[in-house]
């Protein structure tokens, strides 16, 4: 993608608009996350979206009651545990979390993979190095190499079938039999981050609080800004009741449209691919590095952002002829 971007930053025709920071509104009513969102959508735009450090400060300043420790913001995440081999059968929901540490506890919002130990399963940072357990098709195999979860998955898929799927207590016991006492090892359970803002804003800026975010058996977790710790974010059950912060469209919005002609060096690159468009926009936003300015693509009536110059001229001439 980096190679593509170097070529793409000389591309076709695009337009951007800029606007001021979000305008935040504190509401001192205790509501669940869903109730708070409904309120914000009725009276403003939505629960607060935060896209940079300046907006963190702005949100903190918007909270008039300085005794409040936490407020709902729009952040939420879907908790969808999956097995590496894709197993979704009747026993795919078997879990043996370590109760003593309230696992899975999602420390600092950065634990998306699972390891086995005799006391139970733990969620853990996927980049950490651990031994791991493969499945050969007939038995579990303990591999005493310290690899990240992703590297362990690749190893198992290359040499066996996949990382271990644990369907029931019998599987759990077999894993215990092949794993050295007091050893930890990756198994195939994982999940994707699935971090979201309700208004669909990009999730490129993060501000996590270094503490537990207990998941228990929750399917969705919701975000609060912890005002007693510089407004850092953490997750709590969505049915908790908190005051909250909404955001609304600023009363004064300054927009500017810019059109550029760019050249694509690689003709196979589809600039209208949503992934490429998003990556280009992110790079441009980083390069601009201006507080309170947000870049957005300006779509044409056909839904595209980019058009080849020849195609663009033909459409323009056709429109003139029709007039």
Q: Which domains does the chain have, with CATH numbers?
A: 2-19+252-322 (no CATH), 23-78+194-248 (3.10.100.10), 83-190 (no CATH)
The average pLDDT across 79-105 equals 95
Burial 215-244 (b: 16+ CB within 10 A, else e): beebebbbbbbbbeeebbbbbbebeeebbb
Q: What is the pLDDT of residues 172-217, one digit of tens each?
A: 999 999 999 989 999 999 999 999 999 888 899 999 999 999 999 9
The whole-number pLDDT of residue 300 equals 72
**Residue 100: count of CB within 10 angstroms of its CB:** 8
The whole-number pLDDT of residue 286 equals 72
Cα 233–chain centre separation: 13
The whole-number pLDDT of residue 289 equals 62
From the CA atom positions of the chain, what is the Rg in Å? 24
The whole-number pLDDT of residue 257 equals 74
CB 144 within 8 A of CB 166: no
Angle at 237 between CA 235 and CA 242, to 5 degrees: 85
Q: How confident is the model at residue 10 (pLDDT cuts 50, 70, 90)?
A: very low
CB 123 within 8 A of CB 99: no
The whole-number pLDDT of residue 14 equals 42
The average pLDDT across 29-53 equals 96
- Distant-in-sequence, close-in-space partners of 294: CB < 8 Å, separation ≥ 6: 17, 18, 19, 51, 285
The whole-number pLDDT of residue 21 equals 61
| Three-state DSSP state, 75 | strand
| Three-state DSSP state, 161 | coil
Predicted TM-score (pTM) of the model is: 0.70
The whole-number pLDDT of residue 290 equals 55
Which range of 238-247, 261-270, 272-281, 297-306 scores highest in mean pLDDT? It is 238-247
The whole-number pLDDT of residue 11 equals 37
The whole-number pLDDT of residue 159 equals 98
3-state SS string for 29-47:
EEECHHHHHHHHHHHCCEE
Instruction: Express the helix, strand and coil content of the chain in percent, nearest 5 each.
Output: 25, 25, 50
3-state SS string for 109-124:
HCCCEEEEECCEEEEE
User: What span, in angstroms and rounded, lies between the C-alpha atoms of 114 and 133?
Assistant: 11
The whole-number pLDDT of residue 318 equals 52
Tokens, residue 318:
């056709």
The average pLDDT across 72-100 equals 96
The whole-number pLDDT of residue 323 equals 46
The whole-number pLDDT of residue 313 equals 52
Tokens, residue 140:
């579990």
Q: How does the average pLDDT of the chain come out, rounded?
A: 85
Higher pLDDT, 1 or 213: 213
314 pLDDT higher than 80? no
250 pLDDT higher than 70? no
Q: What is the pLDDT of residues 281-308, one digit of tens each?
A: 777 777 766 545 667 777 776 767 777 7
Q: What is the pLDDT of residues 140-180, one digit of tens each?
A: 999 999 999 999 999 999 999 999 999 999 999 999 999 99
């Amino acid at each position: 993608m980096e190679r593509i971007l170097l070529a793409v930053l000389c591309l076709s025709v695009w337009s951007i608009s800029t606007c001021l920071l979000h305008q935040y509104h504190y509401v001192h009513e205790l509501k669940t996350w869903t109730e708070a969102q409904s309120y914000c959508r009725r009276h403003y735009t939505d629960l607060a979206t935060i896209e940079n450090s300046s907006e963190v400060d702005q949100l903190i300043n918007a909270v008039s009651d300085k005794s409040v420790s936490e407020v709902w913001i729009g952040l939420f995440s879907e908790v969808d545990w999956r097995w590496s081999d894709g197993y979704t059968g009747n026993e795919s929901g078997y879990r043996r979390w370590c109760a003593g540490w309230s696992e899975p506890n999602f420390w600092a919002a950065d634990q998306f993979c699972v390891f086995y130990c005799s006391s139970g399963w733990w969620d853990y940072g996927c980049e950490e190095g651990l031994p791991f357990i493969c499945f050969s098709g007939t038995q579990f195999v303990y591999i005493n190499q310290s690899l990240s979860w992703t590297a362990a998955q690749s190893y198992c898929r290359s040499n066996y079938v996949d990382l271990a799927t644990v369907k029931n207590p019998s599987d759990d016991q077999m894993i215990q039999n092949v794993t050295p006492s007091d050893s930890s090892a990756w198994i195939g359970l994982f999940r994707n981050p699935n971090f979201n803002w309700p208004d669909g804003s990009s999730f490129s800026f993060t501000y996590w609080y270094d503490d537990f975010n207990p998941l228990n058996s929750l399917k969705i977790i919701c975000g609060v800004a912890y005002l007693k710790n510089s407004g850092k974010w953490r997750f709590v059950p969505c049915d908790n009741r908190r005051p909250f912060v909404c955001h609304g469209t600023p009363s004064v919005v300054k927009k500017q449209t810019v059109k550029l002609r760019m050249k694509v060096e690689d003709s196979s690159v589809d600039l209208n691919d949503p992934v490429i468009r998003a990556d280009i926009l992110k790079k441009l936003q980083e390069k601009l590095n201006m507080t309170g300015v947000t870049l957005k693509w300006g779509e044409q009536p056909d839904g595209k952002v980019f058009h080849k110059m020849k195609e663009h001229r033909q459409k323009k001439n056709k429109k003139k002829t029709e007039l």
